Amino acid sequence: MALRRVARFVGAIGLGLCPLLAAQEAQDAAAQIERAQELACRGRHAEARALYKKLAAEFAGTEEGKLAAKRALPSALLGACMLVENGPSAKRVDIVLLGDGFELDHQRAFDELAEDVPPLFERVEPFREYWSYLNFVRGVCLSADGGIDGFGRDYDTLLGGFTLDTDAGHASVDGEKVRDALEQIPGSDALALVFVRLGLLGTAGGGIAVIGGREANTVIHEWGHAFGGLGDEYSSRTSKHRTASAGINVALTDDPKKVPWRHWLEARHPSVGVYEGASGQPMHAWRPTASGCAMNDGQAFCPVCREALVLRLYSIVDPIEEVTPLAPPPGIREPIVLWQDPIEIRVRTLKPATHDLEVRWWIESAGMYPITPGPGGPAEARELIAPTKETPGDRTQRGPLRALPVAPYKEHDTGKDGVATLRLARDDLKPGLYRVTCRVKDTTRLRGERFPWVLKDERGLLESERVWWLEVR
């Protein structure tokens, strides 16, 4: 025992710092990095770089020192600045705008380019309706050189932009370098729009859309690929090597019972069919709409693509923004006590531009939910107590919510302020322990539209719930 205590003491001396001082130092370093980032965001790039250089030396060997050293390199991400903030990063889709081949003198040009992006999204559905679900972040991206790799030339740029071997020479970037930049941005959803200064056209995949030059008209199309996993609905060949690949909006069959958008055909949406020519192939590949989709030649997304984009938004954004009182985590039954004074449970939801989310409340006897699942307990209860697989920022793993066995206690829309309230007084319920559930769902039904925007939601992404326990005395 005594020996171990001595060893621990020697260990602390060996570090040369008491842990408290080390924590203080890390805090200082983080604050200084924040300051350098602010300088970069305000266009004071040279000062930001000088500060990073100083911090790299001062905090050498620490995480902060390593980050500062990376940011003092000739090609570096100097910081990330909020361009449009509709809510906290953890509860929104953060679209990060990055640039490649922008030297120190080009920074103002990139800033202007970045500022033009949010208005493009604001004009196109479903991003207009779900505008408040998005944040835009501008990266301050410094490249040592202003060129683009290809044709035997090699430049030092932040994201390794290069020209692809396509007929038209599409611009692309080094995905690894983009991911490294995104990892430096807190709250990032690993989604980026990258502008390659001297590039042409665009490419996309895995959450990253690449735009050559200033081709604003390709931004939305490439974002459809990067964010929605959508395929091309045009039929002209872009490369002789290209083959068709099937996906959400591209089929390799014209059988209406087998195409991925068959649920739209079954629902008889007037503008959805099966048309030959897609994925850069004039034949043997089919698309859902004749023309007009942003994945083809148009400005707006077709119903099939729009559905996929709405579901993608909800794979990241929970329709419930916040609740008071806080709902306890699954497995904890700390109850709210309802005795003399009435209580209020308040739920704030996200707010699409023109339609309300649907809110339903249930009050069930806690006896329906035995704590230790065992023989005789209802199967649904057992399922419910099982630990959830959901990880923060990924709503796709939870699966649809099970149907509750009783009718809702109350049903309403969130209304203008996006707040739903359940008010309960002691006389409303008999004494006992209850389970209160609030479910918020986006029906995706917009006023004046015959069809909801989402017809099929197999993973239950449009819906979310919170659960409280209530003790009535």
Residues at the interface with Zn ion (CB under 5 A): 249, 293, 295, 302, 305
Shortest Å, Cβ 463 to Zn ion: 25
Shortest Å, Cβ 414 to Zn ion: 30
Compare residues 204 and 305 and give the one whose CB is closer to Zn ion.
Answer: 305
Query: Shortest CA distance to 99 belongs to which of 184, 207, 212?
Result: 212
Shortest Å, Cβ 304 to Zn ion: 5
Alpha-carbon gap, residue 237 to 280, rounded angstroms: 5
Shortest Å, Cβ 264 to Zn ion: 11
Query: Shortest CA distance to 201 belongs to which of 216, 212, 214?
Result: 212
Compare residues 185 and 302 and give the one whose CB is closer to Zn ion.
Answer: 302
- For residue 84, what is the enclosing H or E element? strand 76-84
Compare residues 135 and 279 and give the one whose CB is closer to Zn ion.
Answer: 279
Structure tokens at 103: 């030297």
Shortest Å, Cβ 218 to Zn ion: 16
Compare residues 97 and 250 and give the one whose CB is closer to Zn ion.
Answer: 250
Compare residues 73 and 290 and give the one whose CB is closer to Zn ion.
Answer: 290
Collapsing DSSP to helix, strand or coil, 158 comes out as coil
Query: Shortest CA distance to 252 belongs to which of 291, 225, 278?
Result: 278
Shortest Å, Cβ 216 to Zn ion: 20
Structure tokens at 407: 């009718």
- To the nearest 10°, report the CA torsion of 242, 216, 191, 156: 80
Compare residues 143 and 249 and give the one whose CB is closer to Zn ion.
Answer: 249
Shortest Å, Cβ 305 to Zn ion: 3
Structure tokens at 10: 């020697």
Compare residues 78 and 294 and give the one whose CB is closer to Zn ion.
Answer: 294
Compare residues 100 and 232 and give the one whose CB is closer to Zn ion.
Answer: 232
Compare residues 175 and 292 and give the one whose CB is closer to Zn ion.
Answer: 292
Alpha-carbon gap, residue 108 to 112, rounded angstroms: 6
What residues does 420 pair with on adjacent strands?
347
Shortest Å, Cβ 211 to Zn ion: 19
Shortest Å, Cβ 124 to Zn ion: 12
Q: Give the residue carrying structure tokens 């996006």.
A: 418
Shortest Å, Cβ 389 to Zn ion: 31
- For residue 83, what is the enclosing H or E element? strand 76-84
Q: C-alpha 326: how far from its chain's center?
A: 23
Kindly tell me the number of DSSP H helices and DSSP E strands found in the chain.
Answer: 11, 18
- For residue 70, what is the enclosing H or E element? helix 63-71
Compare residues 47 and 276 and give the one whose CB is closer to Zn ion.
Answer: 276
The 3-state DSSP composition of the chain as helix, strand, coil percent (nearest 5) reads 30, 25, 45
- Which DSSP string do the residues of 1-43 spell out, in sequence order? -HHHHHHHHHHHHHHTS-HHHHHHHHHHHHHHHHHHHHHHHTT
Collapsing DSSP to helix, strand or coil, 440 comes out as strand
Shortest Å, Cβ 288 to Zn ion: 6
Burial class (CB in 10 A: 0-12, 13-18, 19+), 393: middle
Compare residues 87 and 273 and give the one whose CB is closer to Zn ion.
Answer: 273
- Which DSSP string do the residues of 186-252 spell out, in sequence order? TT--S-EEEEETT--SEEEETTEEEEETT-GGGHHHHHHHHHH-PPP---S-S-TT-----BTTBBS
